Amino acid sequence: MSADLLLAVDGLEKRFGALKATDGLDLEVRTGEIHALIGPNGAGKSTLMKQLSGEMKPDAGRILFRGADITYATAPRRARLGIARSYQITSIFPDYTVLENVATAVQMRMTGGAGILRRAKGDADIEEPALKLIERVGLSGAHDRLASALAHGQQRQLECAMALALEPSLLLLDEPMAGMGPQESAIMVELLRGLRGQVTTLLVEHDMDAVFSLADRITVLVYGKAIATGSPDEIRNNPAVREAYLGEEADAS
Amino acid sequence: MPDGFLRIVTLALVVLALFFPLLAEAGGSAYLVPSASRILIYALAAVSLNLLVGYTGLVSLGHAAYLGVGAYVVGILSFHAVEGSTIFGLPGTVEGLVSIPLAILFSALVALVLGALCLRTSGIYFIMITLAFAQMMFFITVSLERYGGDDGLFMYAGPNRLGPLDLSSEWTFFYVCLAVLFAFLLFCRYLVGTRFGRALGAIRQNEARMITLGCNVYRYKLAIFVIAGAGAGLAGALLANQASYVSPDVLHWTRSGELLFMVILGGSGTLLGPVFGAVAFLLLEEYLPVLFDAAGLELLKEHWRIVFGPLLIIVMLFNRRGLYGLLAGRPRQ
Amino acid sequence: MLTGGMALHKPSRSQAGKNSRIMLLFIEQILNGLQLGVFLFLVSAGLTLIFGIMGVINLAHGSLYMIGAYTCATVSMASGSYWLGFLAAGLAAALAGALMEVILMRRLYRRDHLDQVLVTFGLILFVNEAVTMIWGRTPLFMDLPQSLSGSVEIVPGAPYPVYRLGVILAGLAGAVGLWFLISKTRIGMLIRAGSTNREMVSALGVDIDRLYTLLFAAGAVLAGLAGAFAGPLVSVQVGMGESILILAFVVVVIGGIGSVRGALVGAILVGLVDTLGRAFLRDFLGLFLPPAEAAGMGAALSSMGIYIVMALILVIRPKGLFPVVAGR
């Protein structure tokens, strides 16, 4: 295994009754890259993300992270190893302020014996990094607002900040731009672009403009299998991909 | 500190509590002091349950079990002290400075064992299983033939001593209960303000997210389950001293339901809500029959629960935020 | 408890006679355990279906059992016919169940479990007090139906009351009927579909509200009939519903929420463990311990028995023996 390989998925399988949601899937994510995962609805993208984050157990195959087998590691264990994820459906703490949300995530990274009984509000150890993250995702000024009161796009930005708070070495982003208007999407694209080279990102996204402008490499998923992997140009010109996916998408739009 | 109308009500209650024995005596109703102590004790138990229900989102329907363990520890130690016999090779005692910490310790231990099992489940399962294990504790106390079984255990030595304090004095006991409740409230306020407390609130709001943030939610939940059990054990120890009597009745499952009601009625997830809830619930229980009597409704005086039940239902259906929310006005934006 | 089987046998001098006496006692206790299991199944089946399909926890389910018992006792004593009482118990429970659903439960489907617990807790207070107002605080004792008051010898030398045997058979028949209803009929299909996809079923033109009311009433009938069966065996009194309800919770936790099969297995298991524990644990401990301690520990342990079983099963399978997989 080469040194710059962060995540390797090897022959992964997940069945739901007769349906194979993941069907002998192979995937490699290199350190530092933004790797996009695309494919038509029902290709098994979300199922794959869940297996990578540990929320779902695969039926067969292996997942290697930095060369170590994490196929059956629990979700909290993977989080501590450095895999963080954001959700397709916004998953935040609605009754907490933006700052409290991010500070909670920061605190989970620092999880320590004694610190746990320290007063959380005003604790610089967790609030300073949290405020920096809030600024980084473009939410400065909103840190005192309740998360539930934010606009949809802002909630997605908050999600990002929470995932980044874990200082992950691999960030799993499940449709970060779902349900966003063009303006909000543009902010998110800029945000993700800023992460390139700092955080390795595996991105599932339907917004093709965003994917092709952001991704270093793209893997195309159809019926639980990876049919092609390559640079945006290679994928754009791959006949199999055009037939299976892009053509269909072009018809739809 | 809450503000507005709520602040006035809170302050009024605090002042009333501080001078209650004096006022009761002056008004010729000194007999009310033990009842007031009882309210304080149940408030303490409700506050401890609120740590689970309100702050962590764990609906325990078996909290009376820990109340019972605390009460029985005090009762059994007193029994052996009177009898002059030993338990596990140790003599009994009527010294509260020994028996009350032991009561807290034992209820925490029981909470640790039962919590470790119950917390493997969630949702409806958790509700049912906490109720089931509490019922087990109930039957265990019924089967304790030596300690009175079904009939319960009289503490012939009367209430404990507490160092220099004599808990058989109604005034002393009242102020001890008040001080304990106040201390426990301060402790809870501190606890929910810590990183630990913030993590608990996050677990309540979105447990799945906490797991993917790397949180071992089981350990957090077990920790608060044990703390809440210990709090209830402390309340149980006081309850035994209040009545100089312990019986399986303390662990009856309806007691768990009532505690849950106090929490929600007062306002779950707020510091003082459960105290308001306990006061309102117990006053209603005590004075509803009196009220019907005064109104000349003989039938309802005897069967006041036929009104009480639907009253609780209506409150639950239409007032989601409890008395505390009602007094506090609008929620924070 | 519900079992009150008495073992009256002539004392026998020979060792062989003693052994066979123990054997007969054992058989009798197994039957008693089965009978408790059947009661528990009838109560738990409705409970687990309502949990599984509507997602509602109903503490007042035990009240339906009590209503069944009281109605059966009253009607059969007034009319002299147990069967008339039995019929009335089913009707009364169905009516009470349907009312409960329409007036209260319907408002709770979308609420969280905490609200459901508290509202149905309030309902218990109300029903218990209403029953006290109507029937008073003195327990009712009803006679066995004339036609079933004898006993039969299942094995030579072991007489067993016909009525208790009948209860076991009727309960098992009920289990088979319920299984058939759910897995083989159109209603059962709708029920199973409704539990996973409310919108789809209502899109098929089925009135979900009515389906739920009917289902609730059906669960109530099962509980009410269990109450009617229990009537002649226990004292009919206020609070009888709650003790069986908590046992039914144990059954449902063991079996897995929403699983009728799990309810059957769990009910029989709980019935047997509880009955056999109470009957034999004390003697068993007596083999190792002095009598006084054996009695004390036996009493404590046998009252813990079913909860220990529940804990063990939970450690191995947190979702019960037959977890229902949510369709998705």
Least confident of A53-62, C197-206, C234-243: C197-206
Distance from CA of C299 to the nearest CA of B (A): 6
Average pLDDT value for residue range B140-156: 91
Burial class (CB in 10 A: 0-12, 13-18, 19+), B333: exposed
pLDDT for B172: 93
3-state secondary structure of B134: helix
Residue B165 lies in a domain: yes
Average pLDDT value for residue range B203-230: 94
Interchain pair A118, B215: CB under 8 A: no
Instruction: Find, in chain B, the residue whose alpha carbon is nearest to that of A162.
Output: B213
Closest partner residue to C307 (CB to CB) among B124, B133, B264 is: B133
Tell whether the model's pLDDT for residue C13 goes beyond 60: no
pLDDT digits (tens, 9 = 90+) for A188-207: 888 888 888 888 999 998 88
How far apart (Å, rounded) are the C-alpha atoms in residues C212 and B187?
46
For residue C252, which residues of chain B lie inside 8 Å, CB to CB?
A: 128
How far apart (Å, rounded) are the C-alpha atoms in residues B135 and C267?
17
Instruction: Find, in chain C, the residue whose alpha carbon is nearest to that of B125.
Output: C253
Which of residues C54 and B70 earns the better pLDDT score?
Answer: B70
Question: What does the domain layout of chain A look like in residue ranges?
Answer: 1-82+169-253, 92-167
Distance from CA of C303 to the nearest CA of B (A): 6
For residue C242, which residues of chain B lie inside 8 Å, CB to CB?
A: 253-254
Angle of helix B96-118 relative to helix C291-316, nearest 10 degrees? 40
pLDDT for A111: 64
For residue B144, which residues of chain C lie inside 8 Å, CB to CB?
A: 300
Interchain pair B309, C122: CB under 8 A: yes
Instruction: Find, in chain A, the residue whose alpha carbon is nearest to that of B220.
Output: A116
pLDDT for B331: 53
For residue A116, which residues of chain B lie inside 8 Å, CB to CB?
A: 194-196, 199
Domain count, chain C: 1
Residue C13 lies in a domain: no
Residue C14 lies in a domain: no
pLDDT for C195: 62
Mean pLDDT of chain A: 87
pLDDT digits (tens, 9 = 90+) for B55-66: 999 999 999 999
For residue B190, which residues of chain A lie inside 8 Å, CB to CB?
A: 119
Which of residues B103 and B331 earns the better pLDDT score?
Answer: B103
3-state secondary structure of A27: strand
Distances (CA, A) of B281 to B3, B262, B288, B300, C130: 24, 6, 10, 18, 21
Residue B187 near chain A (CB below 8 Å):
no
Write the DSSP assignment of C214-239 as a string of letters: HHHHHHHHHHHHHHHHHTTTS-B-TT
Interchain pair B305, C250: CB under 8 A: no
Instruction: Find, in chain B, the residue whose alpha carbon is nearest to that of C131.
Output: B306
Interchain pair B195, A55: CB under 8 A: no
- pLDDT confidence tier of residue C102, bands split at 50, 70 and 90: very high
pLDDT for C304: 85
For residue B208, which residues of chain A lie inside 8 Å, CB to CB?
A: 55, 91
Tell whether the model's pLDDT for residue B229 goes beyond 90: yes
Which contiguous run of DSSP H or E holds residue C152? strand C151-155
Q: Provide the ipTM.
A: 0.90
E-strand ranges in A94-240 read 170-174, 200-204, 217-222, 225-230
Residue B116: φ, ψ to 5°: -60, -35
Residue A7: φ, ψ to 5°: -130, 130
Which of residues A95 and C18 earns the better pLDDT score?
Answer: A95
Tell whether the model's pLDDT for residue B295 goes beyond 90: no
Which DSSP symbol is given to A64? Answer: E
Residue length, chain B?
333
Angle of helix B5-26 relative to helix B170-193, nearest 10 degrees? 160
Residue A79 near chain B (CB below 8 Å):
yes
Interchain pair A104, B199: CB under 8 A: yes
pLDDT for A194: 86
How far apart (Å, rounded) are the C-alpha atoms in residues A197 and A250?
31
Least confident of A53-62, B220-229, C150-159: C150-159
The two structure tokens encoding residue C125: 């207070």
Mutating which of B135, B137, B205, B221 best tests the C interface, going by the most C Cβ atoms within 10 A?
B135
Window 89-108 of A: residues touching B by CB (8 A cutoff) are 91-96, 100, 103-105, 107-108
pLDDT digits (tens, 9 = 90+) for B245-259: 999 999 999 999 999
Residue B275 lies in a domain: no
Maximum average pLDDT range among B46-50, B293-297, C217-221:
B46-50
Distances (CA, A) of A71 to A53, A56, A65, A181: 10, 10, 9, 37
Q: Is A193 left (phi over 0), alpha (psi -120 to 50) or beta?
A: alpha
Interchain pair B206, A93: CB under 8 A: yes
CATH number of domain containing C287: 1.10.3470
Range of the domain at B221: 33-253
Mutating which of B52, B143, B260, B297 best tests the C interface, going by the most C Cβ atoms within 10 A?
B143
| Contact of B40 with B179, CB cutoff 8 Å | no
Mean pLDDT of chain C: 83
Residue A34: φ, ψ to 5°: -100, 115
Range of the domain at C164: 20-316
Tell whether the model's pLDDT for residue B51 goes beyond 90: yes
pLDDT digits (tens, 9 = 90+) for C118-158: 999 999 999 999 999 999 888 888 878 777 777 887 777 77
Tell whether the model's pLDDT for residue A182 goes beyond 80: yes
Residue A73 near chain B (CB below 8 Å):
no
The highest-level CATH class for domain A1-82+169-253 is alpha beta
Which DSSP symbol is given to C149? Answer: -
Residue C6 lies in a domain: no
Least confident of B24-33, B227-236, C58-67: B24-33
Interchain pair C121, B131: CB under 8 A: no
For residue B216, which residues of chain A lie inside 8 Å, CB to CB?
A: 76
Residue B216 lies in a domain: yes
pLDDT for C2: 43
- pLDDT confidence tier of residue C201, bands split at 50, 70 and 90: low
Tell whether the model's pLDDT for residue B262 goes beyond 70: yes
Mean pLDDT of chain B: 91
Show which subunits contact A, needing at least 3 CB pairs below 8 angstroms: B
Interchain pair B145, C249: CB under 8 A: no
Interchain pair B213, A108: CB under 8 A: yes
pLDDT for B35: 93
pLDDT digits (tens, 9 = 90+) for B155-180: 998 898 888 998 989 999 999 999 99
Interchain pair B214, A76: CB under 8 A: yes
Interchain pair A120, B208: CB under 8 A: no
Interchain pair B316, C125: CB under 8 A: no
Closest partner residue to B213 (CB to CB) among A118, A149, A166 is: A166
The two structure tokens encoding residue C37: 């299991």
For residue B146, which residues of chain C lie inside 8 Å, CB to CB?
A: 296
Which DSSP symbol is given to A110? Answer: S
Least confident of B8-22, B102-116, B268-282, C179-193: C179-193
Domain count, chain B: 1
Which of residues C121 and C209 earns the better pLDDT score?
Answer: C121
Interchain pair A76, B211: CB under 8 A: yes
For residue C113, which residues of chain B lie inside 8 Å, CB to CB?
A: 59, 123-124, 127
- Side-chain-side CA neighbours of C5 within 13 Å: the count stands at 29
- pLDDT confidence tier of residue C95, bands split at 50, 70 and 90: very high
pLDDT digits (tens, 9 = 90+) for A86-145: 877 788 999 999 999 999 999 988 865 568 888 888 888 899 999 999 998 888 889 899
Closest partner residue to A166 (CB to CB) among B193, B206, B214 is: B214
Average pLDDT value for residue range C96-108: 92
Which DSSP symbol is given to A119? Answer: B
Interchain pair B53, C119: CB under 8 A: no
Interchain pair C118, B308: CB under 8 A: no
Residue B24 lies in a domain: no
pLDDT for C290: 81
pLDDT for A251: 46
Window 214-273 of B: residues touching A by CB (8 A cutoff) are 214-217
Instruction: Find, in chain A, the residue whose alpha carbon is nearest to that of B189.
Output: A119
The two structure tokens encoding residue A199: 């955080």
Instruction: Please enumerate in sequence order all residues whose Cβ is within 8 A of that of B257, keeping only pairs 6 or more positions apart, or say none.
Output: B61, C59, C117, C118, C121
Q: Where are the alpha helices (DSSP H) in chain C?
A: 15-54, 61-79, 82-103, 113-135, 162-184, 186-196, 198-203, 208-230, 240-255, 260-286, 291-316
Closest partner residue to B206 (CB to CB) among A84, A92, A115 is: A92
Instruction: Please enumerate in sequence order all residues whose Cβ is within 8 A of that of A20, keeping only pairs 6 or more positions apart, or say none.
Output: A13, A14, A223, A224
